[in-house]
Structure 1
Amino acid sequence: MNFDRLNELKAKLDGLRPLPDAAVRNLHENLVLQWTYNSNAIEGNTLSLMETKVALEGITVGGKTLREHFEVINHREAIFFVEEIVSANTPLSEWHIKSLHQLILKNIDDTNAGKYRSINVLISGAQHVPPDYIHVSDEMAGFISWYQKSASDMHPVELAARAHCDFVKIHPFVDGNGRTSRLLMNVELMKAGYPAAVIPVNRRLEYYSFLDKAHTSGEYEPFIRLIAEIAEQSFEPYWHALGIK
């Protein structure tokens, strides 16, 4: 795949740094909202964008479950942890992954939060069947080893997409794999200086379809192209905030 367009956009943004403090704050607030809303909505959370905004402000939305509120608050905390990982610029580890997952399921399923599954699972609607639970620890060790070896060989957008895809293929946790995978994807993008890529809920069908295709046939390109397209769109809020066409 050709990533020239993404490289050009990143160079353009890098040339504008440091960005004004007010713009950075506004962009960050919008990112936390959009990322939290879309990632949760993909998994079936019924809070609307505006209801998610209200929940992030600590206000309870009538008629919505406690779990849905925790999913919002937890996801924001997980984003903050992603930012800490990026800021520290340390190699991704299983501890990071388990810590992210623990934040995602905090007050929702504390028994399984941050712990690899001890049962076999199926992915609803998918052809791919995740590995037997007894292989999860070995698969995750292999995943981290591959990730660290590939970090310098792949374009950051390709690496981010592949990491997302391969993590979900293992499905190491009972629940919360999707949210965790989208957070992990952005660890790599943000480390490389790209904006976080938020997969919109209205592209959920092709997102799931391309993931399953990669898992069952080893054909990664459609999924990588999808992530590259979304990564390109993630620059738009910056141009808008800075008044650039």
Structure 2
Amino acid sequence: MDGINQTLKKIDHNQISINQNRPLEQTQVKNLKNYFKIGLTYASNALEGNTLTESETKVVIEEGITIGGKPLKDHLEAIGHARAFDYLWELAKSADITENDIKELHKICFQPKDGAAAGQYRQVDVIITGSHHNDKLSRHEDVPAHMRDFAAQLPEKRARLHPVVYAATLHRDFIYIHPFEDGNGRTARLLMNHALLATGYPPVIISPAFKHEYIQALEKSHSNSQMFTHYIAEQVLQAQRDYIRLLHLPPV
């Protein structure tokens, strides 16, 4: 617990510097949004096997150009995730998020690839490859009730927990339900970043280079929830450093 508390103290210290330099100019906000949209779209999709590079992702999103030799699916995932980030950016103007918001976020993200199935709860049980805790995932018939409870508990958790702890908890609890047949990881990361953005923190981009560490922290959270929380806190700390560097803020 001490390790997490020390990391949270560093985060709080950095956040003071970030908040002291607000409000930002419109140009700065636009540049930051584009930076995080491209970075998060690339990384979150790459974690799930998308083969587009970050520069290719940028071209697909900003110019609508098709990358030769890359699957159509990968292009559609990039387009959908970028649209979902735009929706998330507006949604984060409020800390509140509802069950319908979550379904809409998934729908926007996956409609280009999955059509009408996007935004619909799964009708089958699922297995997470490589996980030893598939027995703890919600059964498909329980998903609607579990998601209602999940959404209903968010305001209380948000009020009680440190914003970074809340963001990590939201991600973890959503994954335990796994409400959609596909796209749960990407949706969980979007929800986590909604929680961060809504409270003034920069969004977290989990690099695909650290996929193993990320998955292991999530897997071990079944027996030690603090491990995943600490992992996410370290990612927030890095996101703050990137934010400070991008805006040329005084070093903390």
* TM-score, with structure 1 as normaliser: 0.95
Cα separation, 2, equivalents of 1:142 and 1:148: 11
Partner of 2:115: 110
Partner of 1:69: 75
* 1:206 counterpart = 2:213: yes
Counterparts of residues 1-245 of structure 1 (less than 5 Å): 1-2=4-5, 3-57=8-62, 58-87=64-93, 89=94, 91-129=96-134, 130-215=137-222, 217=223, 219-243=224-248, 244-245=250-251
Unpaired stretches in structure 1, ≥5 consecutive residues: none
Q: Is the CA contact (8 Å cut-off) linking 2:95 and 2:198 kept in structure 1?
A: no
Offset of residue 27 of structure 1? 2.0
Structure 1: 4+ residue segments shifted above 6 A: none
Offset of residue 68 of structure 1? 0.6
19-28 or 64-73, larger mean C-alpha shift: 19-28
Cα separation, 2, equivalents of 1:27 and 1:229: 20
Equivalent pairs counted in the alignment come to 242
Q: Is the CA contact (8 Å cut-off) linking 2:84 and 2:105 kept in structure 1?
A: yes
Cα separation, 2, equivalents of 1:138 and 1:170: 10
Offset of residue 117 of structure 1? 0.5
Unpaired stretches in structure 2, ≥5 consecutive residues: none
Q: Is the CA contact (8 Å cut-off) linking 2:57 and 2:78 kept in structure 1?
A: yes
- State the AA in 1 paired with 2:26: D
Structure (1/2) with the larger helix percentage: 2
Offset of residue 221 of structure 1? 1.0
* TM-score, with structure 2 as normaliser: 0.92
Cα separation, 2, equivalents of 1:195 and 1:242: 12
Cα separation, 2, equivalents of 1:39 and 1:242: 24
RMSD: 1.3
Offset of residue 60 of structure 1? 0.5
